[in-house]
Chain A
């Protein structure tokens, strides 16, 4: 579909609320100012693993101005979780990582909160700590959750402990396949924990209402799951809880509370407000976030692949050990996705993978941008280069030899409707200048492909309400995350209704009014809310045209809306204004309310039938390695993506650049460092190194077209996939520059120089 077919779609309209964000207006959660709100704060465990023998809050409660001190004893005996229901609102009986919330305080000032938190006396009985995900599986390791069973799907005969998720991939016969290989490459890769480090801190605010309900404000990505969690953990009926989304200053999955069952911040705040009978607001400190909220897990990946001499892949075997942290969180989902993606997205007839997600005494796994994908791809795409090198093949030619085509199946996708992988590879090769650019000493070029399989997930609805001036008010369940809500949604409504985007207001999510939604996660905003809003806007348009038809003495099918005018197709002089029809509607049906929904089950069934079109990508990087210090400078970076139909080119470019930059951070410098006691050694931005602009190259984002996806007008999710290839891409470029393969992240100067010295270079 060429964009010329559309009036609004495909243009670069300015972001709604963009200027306000740039000039520092109070648009974020942290700017919320509730009258008479108390300050809230959380006491966090100083032990990574310990029994709680007793908690004495009497001294803290006695401080004048302290309005509430709560522990697990003040909440219903209910746990939360996603795959495993393994966590209390505040730690009860045991703490399982340093940062685990133990008690909370609400007081008249932040200073009083700090003082009261110090006065809470917790008696701990320290237990042995396990931070290593392999060690935790051994019989000798301490047990983290006494009452959590091993996963039901664990293969027979596997002797493990502290495992809270298992994913197996079994395609063909990997052992037999491996026996037929001419070349077998067997490697081990390792990635480290990173924190998503959105710049706006997490907040929660709660206000008990006079009618017995409670209103909660959160800069969370998933207001409805937050509502569920608040209701269940405070013992309120669901309809007594109202969650309102505030503006969000970045989240990257880290603010996916409710979805991830992570830090429990909103329920804790609600419990404080209910106890104090006053509004309470908690603003998290950045260092507190780094040690306590959800993270992208580190993992260890064993990968072994067999290939024929001509480069044809024949079999893969592997294992993933994925660190969930102190609670299951999103570990099983992320670890499972990671395991599948180590299986790859190439033609590969025989695959066997075992993926274990394990408890350790560390921060809890969340759904950080492409959960599991960047880690899997670091291993899988580095490994592809290792195989190419073993075969003596060009890395691009080797990949092209194995790309899937129309009708093929890949892990997680039974049938492909088309495949853009080859086109992205060829374009990345051309754009980076592979084989053409003259490389100097210690310079190299690397490639890595990526996929982000659009699989199953919940549906969602949308409502388009017409106002009497012809403008539209839109309800969706996805929050304004800087993507669909300010760009795609108003553009679709404007396109369908023939009105300017300025006439479309997308409402903030309020669980009392908005359609239910599973959360602004998984690159699914356009797929779910975009499809729903398209149908809702079409429903509204059809109602309007039916009302206008009588006035214009034409049938509704012969009418169209152009520039706020309803006109007869081919005879634009026969027209009436959209406003007058909407206004007249007051006398008939009140107002025009269009409704639409994305039926996820039906969509999946359709895709199984016709095959699905998946987003694929290839990134290419040119680097220079300082072989004296191990420093890697990225000189050039190209990210070629198939994201289906592009609704807003600049927004897509921004998504790709942001996602690539985020993973370049993990590639080059980012990691959360722990000591053997489970203490985070680099909680602040002084020591937690995010990449600064002087480290990052210009990222050239390129999109290919012609592979429409399941989203409205053929879009595909664009938010996460850009974070999938960069780590492998840089590792491959380092290999090309130096001949040395670095299998452990980050590709920091020290790790690179160590690898170079070990290789005798």
Chain B
């Protein structure tokens, strides 16, 4: 197995051009190293961790620019993320152990494109954009277009994720990220639900409700029908119940060794209800009646 440590993005891209499918990009290594141990080795490893300036977290054009090599712990420690992107902060905070958070990068979490990736549903709900770079140039695209399937992204084998641009959520919005796993943060999510909403002027109804679901479809997904169902309405117990069932019907979870698809559906239902209730309470100061 060959090993490369490119010092620039261009150098990395030319290695990817050269080695194509044979190449595996590694940054934090928390997934790749495990793969190498338990399955066949890739033809070569391209370690991008040494490329400078790809771990910035800074304000940019009415939002936050995050370099893909920023570690999960750097996100968790960032005042900017904590204050302005509390949804992403919450996902980072529930992301495995401190040792893993110190090593794993947000770019790795994204490019792995595991439906259960902790930051993915929040990025969909925040309507963030991916900066993707190929040897013939760079472009930006919404994450809703970026994720193609489990482990598959629009990067293919020759692109690099070079930035994540997250617009600031609307003033007065509230968001929660709810993760369900047997061991809580110390475990891979069976279901992750991100809910974000604002309230209308007189706090009598929710506006712009966004719901992101993780680990319950081939990619992280939004739940557009459920969002439409509750947006512009006052939440009551009946509507919350209906929304939970609706979100579950918008998911398509599989059965694996962690849990059955049926159970994952029940949890989407429960966490969607919980997320909406929490947003309602935070935005209106009232309990769902």
Chain A residues packing against B (C-beta within 8 Å) = 287, 628-629, 631, 668-669, 673, 681-682, 684, 686-687, 689, 691-692, 694-695, 748-750, 753-754, 757
Contacts and interface: CB of A to CB of B under 8 A. Distances in A.
A398 B12 CA distance: 72
Contact of B182 (A287, A669, A684, A686): A669
B193 to A, nearest CB: 11
A68 B218 CA distance: 46
Contact of A750 (B34, B187, B263, B270): B263
Contacts, number: 48
28 contacts: A287-B38, A628-B270, A628-B273, A629-B267, A629-B270, A631-B180, A669-B183, A681-B257, A684-B34, A684-B38, A689-B183, A689-B187, A692-B184, A692-B187, A694-B183, A694-B184, A694-B186, A695-B184, A695-B186, A748-B182, A749-B180, A749-B182, A749-B263, A750-B259, A750-B260, A753-B263, A754-B263, A757-B266
Contacts of B263: 749-750, 753-754
A700 B206 CA distance: 47
By Cβ-Cβ distance, the 3 closest A-B pairs, closest first, are A692-B186, A681-B257, A628-B270
Q: Looking at chain B, what size class is its interface with the partner chain?
A: 20 to 34
B21 to A, nearest CB: 22
B188 interface: yes
B150 interface: no
Contacts of A691: 183
In terms of DSSP, what is the predominant structure of the interface of chain B? Answer: helix
B183 A692 contact: yes
Contacts of B259: 750
A754 B260 CA distance: 11
Given A669-B182, A694-B184, A748-B182, A753 B258 contact: no
A616 to B, nearest CB: 32
B185 interface: yes
A689 B188 CA distance: 10
B274 interface: yes
Q: In this complex, which of A668, A669, A692, A757 has the most chain B Cβ atoms within 10 angstroms of its Cβ? A: A692
Given A686-B188, A757-B266, 5 more contacts: A631-B180, A673-B257, A691-B183, A692-B186, A749-B182
Contacts of A750: 259-260, 263
Contacts of A748: 182
A691 B184 CA distance: 10
Contacts of B267: 629
A753 B266 contact: yes
Contacts of A689: 182-183, 187
A687 B266 CA distance: 21
Interface in B269-284: 270-271, 273-274
Contacts of B257: 673, 681-682, 687
B159 to A, nearest CB: 27
Nearest to B178: A629
Interface in B221-277: 256-260, 263, 266-267, 270-271, 273-274
B95 to A, nearest CB: 14
A754 B153 CA distance: 35
A287 B273 CA distance: 38
Given A287-B38, A689-B187, A629 B182 contact: no
A628 B274 contact: yes
B180 A629 contact: yes
Nearest to A751: B263
A753 B259 CA distance: 12
B189 to A, nearest CB: 12
Contact of B185 (A629, A631, A694): A694
Contacts of B188: 686
